[in-house]
């Protein structure tokens, strides 16, 4: 794969064109995302196929290796984050930024499982995904800073590391995770 991987193009190239095959592909991605969030990187491929309502052969036709499945699920999640950023771009700056960050937290559950499985390995797909996330977050952060609602001394990298750190902690429930995220975001806001 080239160094200039674009996440949306990678996904488009992976997705089958025939309608029934595309439905199976989408069902496998959804099932894998759910299984990775629940069971981590050790999620069973047989369980993923069963959740998707397809046979294991269909899974392997779409994703010949476990790594290919991980990369595609990861790229799909990042692509969804980019689409959410576009959807939120018309909202008031603070609401757009925090709405996207809350979706980012949900994404990190899947990301954690995939990163555990591929510990220390980088690929063109992962590098493209990182760039795509930063590209999605940058305009939201810039708008919030320009409106005076967010600290000027913060970069996208600072913000994503802050939120990633919070989402990497095991909380007893989502309510506490949301509360801690809210506390951190209060530190990002200027108080206007």
Q: What is the pLDDT of residue 67?
A: 86
Q: What's the predicted TM-score (pTM) here?
A: 0.81
- List Cβ<8 Å contacts ≥24 apart for 71-75: 71/123, 71/125, 71/126, 72/11, 72/14, 72/29, 73/29, 73/32, 73/33, 73/36, 73/110, 73/114, 74/110, 74/111, 74/114, 74/125, 74/126, 74/129, 75/7, 75/10, 75/11, 75/125, 75/128, 75/129
For residue 3, pLDDT over 60 is answered with no
CB-based contact 105:59 (threshold 8 Å): no
Q: What is the pLDDT of residue 2?
A: 38
Q: How far apart are CA 84 and CA 32, in angstroms?
A: 21
Q: What is the pLDDT of residue 1?
A: 37
- For 68, the token pair is 């290919």
For residue 148, pLDDT over 60 is answered with yes
Average pLDDT over residues 138-163: 95
Q: What is the pLDDT of residue 37?
A: 81
- Alpha-carbon Rg for the chain in angstroms: 18
pLDDT digits (tens, 9 = 90+) for 32-84: 989 988 888 889 999 999 999 999 999 999 999 988 898 898 888 889 999 99
Q: Is 157 exposed, middle or buried (0-12, 13-18, 19+ CB in 10 A)?
A: exposed
pLDDT digits (tens, 9 = 90+) for 99-145: 999 998 888 766 766 766 666 666 777 788 888 999 999 999 999 99
| Domain 7-188, CATH number (from 3.40.50.720, 3.40.630.30, 3.40.50.970, 1.10.357.10) | 1.10.357.10
Hey, where are the domains in the chain?
7-188
């Amino acid at each position: 794969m080239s160094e200039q991987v674009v996440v949306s193009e990678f996904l488009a190239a992976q997705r089958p064109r025939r309608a029934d095959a595309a439905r199976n592909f989408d069902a496998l991605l959804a099932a894998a995302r759910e299984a990775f969030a629940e069971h981590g990187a050790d999620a069973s491929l047989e369980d993923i196929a069963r959740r998707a309502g397809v046979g294991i052969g269909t899974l392997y036709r779409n994703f010949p290796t476990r790594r290919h499945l991980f990369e595609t699920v990861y790229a799909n999640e990042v692509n969804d984050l980019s689409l959410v950023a576009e959807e939120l771009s018309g909202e008031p700056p603070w609401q757009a930024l925090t709405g996207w960050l809350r979706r980012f937290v949900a994404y990190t559950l899947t990301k954690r499982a995939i990163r555990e499985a591929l510990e220390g390995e980088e690929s063109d797909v992962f590098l493209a995904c990182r760039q795509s996330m930063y590209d999605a977050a940058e305009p939201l952060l810039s708008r919030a800073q320009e409106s005076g609602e967010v600290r000027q001394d913060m970069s996208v990298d600072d913000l994503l590391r802050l939120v990633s750190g919070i989402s990497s902690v095991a909380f007893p429930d989502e309510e506490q995770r949301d509360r801690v995220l809210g506390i951190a975001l209060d530190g990002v806001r200027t108080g206007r």
